[in-house]
Copies of this chain bind each other. A is one copy, B any other.
Amino acid sequence: MEQEIIMMNWRMAEGGMDMLWKVAILTASDKGSRGEREDTSAQVIRELVEEELHGEVVEYRIVPDEVNDISASLIEMADYFQADLIITTGGNGLAPRDVTPEATMKVIDKEVPGLAEAMRYAAMQRTRKAMLSRAVCGIRGKSLIINLPASPKGVHDHLLAIIDQLPHALYAVSGNLSSADEFE
């Protein structure tokens, strides 16, 4: 914890802008992509990211619940926008059109199962329904990708459950820890 704070201070001292994590938000929603639904969940993510994580939202998109649309957006957010953190909302459930976890699995190099487990476990303390979240978390290159549910409440519960560990996670993913071992 101390070490994390030291790293953070050191990075902040290094140079202005890059102390901010670059964050991309991807909403998977058929209705949303047709403009039939206000995207409150993305706003909740934006607020949490800015206030709790000192992140800056560099890209935001809504796509329909299609594997290819979601995968292509994740790849662009990671490889072109070089987002440190990509957060998705929606498409995590059990309905036929829910394919966000499958689209995520297609583009990640490594899975981070403990983040998904911790989100579900914490969210289940409020609603047992959280056991039906199929969220996947993983790494593509130097980007951490996290699936969140569709509803604003679900987004809030899931993200708060892990947000304190994200700075450490993002430093590791970005390769800015001299050795991940020291922090494990």
Binding site for B on A (CB under 8 A): 29, 31, 90, 92-99, 101-102, 110-118, 120-121, 124, 128-134, 139, 142, 144, 149-151, 154, 162, 164-165, 168-169, 172-173, 175, 177, 179-184
- Chain B residues whose C-beta falls within 8 Å of the C-beta of A95 in the assembled complex: 172-173, 175, 177, 179-180
A94-B172, A115-B131, A151-B182 given. 10 additional CB < 8 A pairs? Answer: A31-B181, A90-B184, A92-B184, A93-B181, A94-B173, A111-B134, A117-B131, A128-B165, A133-B184, A150-B180
A133 touches B114 (CB 8 A): yes
When the two chains form the complex, which single residue of B116, B129, B181, B184 contacts A183, counting CB atoms closer than 8 Å? B129
- Chain B residues whose C-beta falls within 8 Å of the C-beta of A111 in the assembled complex: 101, 134
